[in-house]
Amino acid sequence: MTTTARHRLRKPIRILFVTTLLVFLALAVLLVATQVIGVLMLRPGVVTGASDVLLLPSITAAVVFGLVAFAGSYLPDSGPGDAQD
């Protein structure tokens, strides 16, 4: 892959990186917040229900984020002459 092609891929990968990071963090925060609310309300069904519903999507989002980050690590960083996106 040429350097020009790698530079063109940098922006879409960065957008995917930020998007998958935000999705993963949102799901994880929602999972933990729901479980904390369940603990404070003394409702074990809420805690296990949140885990049943949100655990797999959170893990999936984390895996996708990791793969995007791994792919992005192979793209060149901005040099001193490059304009920042």
pLDDT digits (tens, 9 = 90+) for 26-53: 999 999 999 999 999 999 999 999 999 9
Q: Where in the sequence is the domain holding 60, given as residue range(s)? A: 16-72
Question: What confidence tier does 1 reach under pLDDT thresholds 50, 70, 90?
Answer: low
Q: Read off the amino acid at residue 63.
A: V
Instruction: With respect to residue 78, please indicate whether it lies within any of the assigned structural domains.
Output: no
pLDDT band, very low/low/confident/very high, at 80 (cuts 50, 70, 90): low
Indicate the number of domains in the chain: 1
- 60 inside domain: yes
> pTM for this one?
0.81
**Helical H segments across the chain, by residue range:** 3-40, 44-72
**Residue 26: inside a domain:** yes
Q: What is the pLDDT of residue 81?
A: 52
DSSP string, 56-67: HHHHHHHHHHHH
